[in-house]
Chains A and B, each alone.
Chain A
Amino acid sequence: MRLSASHAVIAAFVLAAATAAPARAEETVVVAATGGAYEQSLRKSFFDDFTNATGIRVQVVTASAQEQITKLKAMNQVGAVTWDIAVLGDIEAHSNDVRAMTEDMGTFCQAFAERKDLLKGACDSSGAQLNSGLTYIVWDGDKLPNGGPTTWSELWDVKRFPGARTFPNFNDPWRVMAAALVADGVAPSDLFPLDIDRALRKLDALKPHINLWWKTGDASQQGYRAGEYVAGMVWQTRASVLLKEGRNLKFSLKEGVLVSDRATVVKGGPNKANALKLLNFIENSVDGMARHCTNLGCTPPSTAAMEKMSPEDQANMPIKPEIYASLIIPDFEWINANRPLMLDRWNTWLQK
């Protein structure tokens, strides 16, 4: 009995070794992206179709954007890069730190120069844009039944729109500072360089009313469900989850902060050719872009993809000229150069 049991164990090992060998030969591409709903949507909109079409398996590594950059830097220092694609925020993707660790995609993008449907910057030397979305003003339709704040200066008006406020505090304070400056009368086109002193002075006035400083998108959703705030600044993707739940949440696209996610190709990754094939597939998959943004409530980088989405979803995109003109568009260069200064000033202000 014992003999046959050990034989079975050996047989299992041999079998495992035999099946492991072809698995290694299988073509793969390793993508680092934030997990949860975002990863799910990438799989259903692009990766599954890509694997069906090419036989290349997409392996997803889950990490927040900042964790990805930190890990990329560490992988570069020890010379063992195991990722092929990193999906990062557009601002971070354009920083010098990241650009030093990612491939120049200028040549890759030339193939799409003729595509009239792609938005400006959809494909640039730092990578391929996957989606963009707003950080915008929302309010609780039950608590403000006669309409809520639709601009930052109205959000600051606690007499007209009484109730607790929420703002993000995830170590990236430029959005809140930009919103404060627009509330103080600065035109969105004149925001950069940000007047940090003026922004913090404007924020002083609202600080006592800010009940929830959310650190994760999940916290902003839970805060709404629990009634921790009446109005505030949240991510569009998270607000769309609340809307799908049937909550009486209202929002304003006006003066929203427009930020995109970008797929970058990592220098020295193990499957660079497959990475380029995947990005090429995504750029050509207008249907995939439409599905991805229907899932998440975002804006795709192609007008052809927008047209494939439902009229309700299209109405939630900041593409109407008068809305688009009011948006806060980040100045990558200034933000990346002034991160340490902003964070220092922000931390000091929070502790006052």
Chain B
Amino acid sequence: MQQTINGLASGSIYALLGLGVTLIWGVLHVLTFTHAQVLTWGAFGSLIAINRGYPVPVAILVGMAVAAGLSVLIDSTVLEMLRRRGASEYAFVVATIGLAFMLESILRNRTRARVEPYSRDGFPRGPIELLGQNVPKLQLAVLATSLIAMAGLAIWLNHTRAGRGMKAVAYSPETATLLGINPRFIYAVAYTVSGMLAALAGVFVAVSTASVSYSSGDRLLLTAFAVIILGGMGSVPGAVVGGLILGVIEVYATVHVSSKFSEVVAYLVILVVLLVRPSGLFGAKEATRV
């Protein structure tokens, strides 16, 4: 029971990241290797706000703004230039890998590679009695906040003009333009939302370790990729379900096999899904085959 909650809590962080990656893949067909850095920059944004004495909700919003701003900046500069010249898929991958290295290097130098303390004041602390189990309040808060954010995203995608516009652009940028939707605006919206979700995940990671460093998000990049492969690339419900499933599988691997084995679970998930069902749980078939 406690272990399932552990799995769902870490899984909800994976889902937040996976959602950001899958949104961008769905809309732009770009796999962003910068996503872990966006998370870390967002966490540092909130850290600065906390250290300046702002209340926690404001600090989280600051972190989201930093991450969203960074994401949009990346998109409107480097990625926009690549789009204009009709660059091929690998060029986006290589360019975002390069950007990720630059972003990490900047943070690493700014912090002298130190691990910065991240104050937990104002965040939920201590355990709460639930179904006869002591469950950390923080974990419940992470789980609840993530689920609310995901539900909000789903409603927004299906019931607002911008959300529906995003779906239209994902389907075909040309058709969307004919419908009077500006794809560049939609791209910016997608990057904003994806950055905000990443920052939320970053804050959760920082709080649960009471620290943040330039490398806080590193392990999560490939985990996010595993989430979207499992859920189906471009699928929003797939990212949520995939993230939660992956979190639970990792914990069960620790319990029933060994914690060493849980290290490779995410990578094995990528390989197994590619071999067995490349479209993932919710993915569209046509996108997967040549």
Q: Do A and B assemble together?
A: no
Q: Which residues of A pack against B, CB within 8 Å?
A: none
